[in-house]
Amino acid sequence: MIGIILVKELRGLLRWRRIFLTVVIAAIVMIYVPNEIFTRITGPDNIGARYIDFYFSFYSIIAVMILAHTANYTVFLRDKANGTLESLLAAPVHIRHVWLGKTLAVFLVGYTIAVVLSFAFVLVANHTFGPSIALVPSGYGYLSLFVLNPVICVLIIGLLGICTLLVRDYLVVRYGFFGIWFALFYFLKPAGRLIGVSVIPVQAAAILGLAILVFFALRLLTNERVVLSVE
Amino acid sequence: MLVLENISKSLGRKRILSDISFEVREGSIFGYLGPNGAGKTTTIRIILGLFEQDRGSVMIAGLSPTVASRRRIGFLLEGDGLYNDLTVDENIALYAGMYGLDLESTRDKIDNLLELFELNHVRSQRLSTFSRGMKRKTAFVRSIIHEPRLLILDEPFNGLDPDMQGLMRESLLRLSREQDTTIFVSSHNLYEIDRICDRIAIIKDGVLKVNDATVDLKERYRREGMSLEDVYFSVTRGGG
């Protein structure tokens, strides 16, 4: 059942033109902005190279959050606005399966784009600084990109999805979402100082915290609450 | 087939349903009437498992409603529940998948239904270009492709032209008579309800005011020179 919802939402997302506009915005944030910062901080001692893992791994989260915000509209909110959600819930499908199918669709599209943009960022950064300064992500960078960050992203998207399904006024969700986004952005700053030690405990703490939030939020997710939030 | 016993439901402080009890026998068509805000939609939501009742029980074929038991139920809600960015075929395929149907083996049945409801020539078109009536027909076809034992319909005649209303009426009668499908119809269309329903219930302010066989109801009021419309208005406008 999750697969049916997932395939339907993936098709919808890939057909949606606005997603491409969002990719362009994400590309600017992912590639242009970090490069600007790198240009300023990278001196003769090649200090910027130390931050490559930091940007390589964490910017994928930022990119996914930009994409998730747009995709969330088409995947979760449009179902509420068009009145299709009630029929979906009246079919022989559990609401958590609906939620999971939709969450995975947003994650798969968003994270695939984020991974592509992360590598594009490394290529552009290397091109900017020339062959004398090699910016190569370490094993930690790859661990973050392919293991830790996907978990963080799927939990953030899932939490955003539950809030969208439950909260009547989407503006509340939107501002809450941006609140999390900016909190994370400022959280990255001190986290960045830990580079050289390990950021893995910080990511593990984020995963644990988000998992607890999703666990309790899922308990609130009932057909009745969702249907009433539509009216 | 469908039994509701002493169903009560409040939303916040507002009492929506009070001790609603009725039985819909297998293969019969049950008309559920009432003005806006009377509690019809809440009743349907409880039957479909979208709402949980505060008190009382719902039994479908002797079992409490679960996600799995919904496979035997077909529904057409007031909102069509169709995806405008999908075609007729895609909308039907989506729900067929949810009901565990193999599209290939049900292809002929779907083709016949689309032909019957004059949707065959537009089956590859997205629903965003469709009229309300065409969407309603598509939603009806979607609701019966899995041959449900119980069919829940909320305002099935809305948006249909007289020809299509007639076709809908015939289809419901055929489903009831030939396939023994139990049909629960909530509607404001007293003319159609009068023509197809074996039994009629009228709800007002969350309380069931009338629950009688259509023949008996008409016979009783005929002696007083009243039609079903008169009965409906006497219940909903008066004290019942």
Within an 8 Å CB–CB cutoff, is residue A231 touching chain B?
A: no
- Rounded to whole angstroms, the Cα distance separating B137 from B81 reads 12
Q: In this model, does residue A12 exceed pLDDT 70?
A: yes
Q: CB burial class (10 A; 0-12, 13-18, 19+) of residue A73?
A: middle
In the predicted model, is pLDDT for residue A182 greater than 80? no
Phi/psi at A131 (5° precision):
-70, -15
pLDDT level of residue A103 (50, 70, 90 thresholds): very high
Specify whether the CB–CB gap between B90 and B140 falls below 8 A.
no
The domain tally of chain A equals 1
List, for residues B109-146, the tens digit of each pLDDT value: 899 999 988 899 999 999 988 988 899 999 999 999 99
Go through the domains of chain B in sequence order and give each one's CATH number: 2-81+148-237 (3.40.50.300)
pLDDT of residue A42: 59
Confidence of residue B85 (pLDDT cuts 50, 70, 90): confident
Give the torsion sign (CA, B82, B83, B85, B91).
negative
Separation in Å, CA of A173 to nearest CA in chain B: 23
Phi/psi region, residue B72 (left: phi>0; alpha: psi -120 to 50; beta: rest), is alpha
List CB contacts (< 8 A) between B83 and chain A. Answer: 8, 12, 82, 84
Quick one: average pLDDT of A163-179? Answer: 80
* Token duo for residue A182: 């900016």
Which residues face A194 on adjacent strands?
none
Cα(B177)–Cα(B88) distance, integer angstroms? 28
Please answer yes or no on whether B81 and A8 come within 8 Å at the CB atom.
Answer: no
**What does chain B come to in residues?**
240
For residue B84, the chain A residues in CB contact (below 8 A) are 82
Q: How many CA atoms lie within 13 A of B200 on its CB side?
A: 25
- pLDDT value for A183: 72
Q: What pLDDT is recorded for position A71?
A: 81
Q: Tens digit of pLDDT for each residue in B155-167?
A: 888 888 888 888 8
Q: Average of pLDDT values for B12-40?
A: 93
Centre a 10 Å sphere on the Cβ of residue B84 and count the other Cβ atoms it contains: 15
Residue B150: the pLDDT is 95
Mark yes or no for CB contact A4/B98 under 8 Å: yes
The pTM is what? Answer: 0.87
Tokens read off for B121: 């020539």
- A225 CB neighbours in chain B (<8 A) are none
Q: Which residue of B has its CA nearest to A16?
A: B85
Q: What confidence score (pLDDT) does residue B42 get?
A: 95
Between A172 and B184, whose confidence is greater? B184
Residue B239 has pLDDT above 60, yes or no: no
Chosen from B48, B145, B155 to mutate, greatest number of chain A CBs within 10 A: B48
Mean pLDDT of A210-222: 94
A1 in contact with B, Cβ within 8 Å: yes
| pLDDT score recorded for residue B69 | 84
pLDDT digits (tens, 9 = 90+) for A108-149: 988 888 888 888 877 877 777 666 666 777 787 888 888 888
Residue B146, C-beta contacts closer than 8 angstroms, at least 6 positions apart: B71, B74, B96, B99, B101
φ, ψ dihedrals at A88, nearest 5°: -60, -40
A227 inside 8 A of chain B by CB = yes
pLDDT at A184 over 70: no
Q: Is the ipTM of this complex over 0.85?
A: yes
Own/partner long-range contacts of B62-70 (Cβ < 8 Å, ≥24 apart): B67/A92, B67/A93, B67/A94, B68/A92, B69/A92, B70/A90, B70/A91, B70/A92
Question: Using an 8 Å Cβ cutoff, are B96 and B106 in contact?
Answer: yes
Q: Range of A43's domain? A: 2-230
Cβ separation A93–B45 shorter than 8 A: no
What does the DSSP 8-state code read for residue B126? Answer: B
Kind and range of the H or E run holding A54: helix A52-72
Compute the distance between CA of residue A172 and CA of residue A169 in angstroms, rounded to an integer: 6
Residues of A in contact with B97 (CB under 8 A): 4
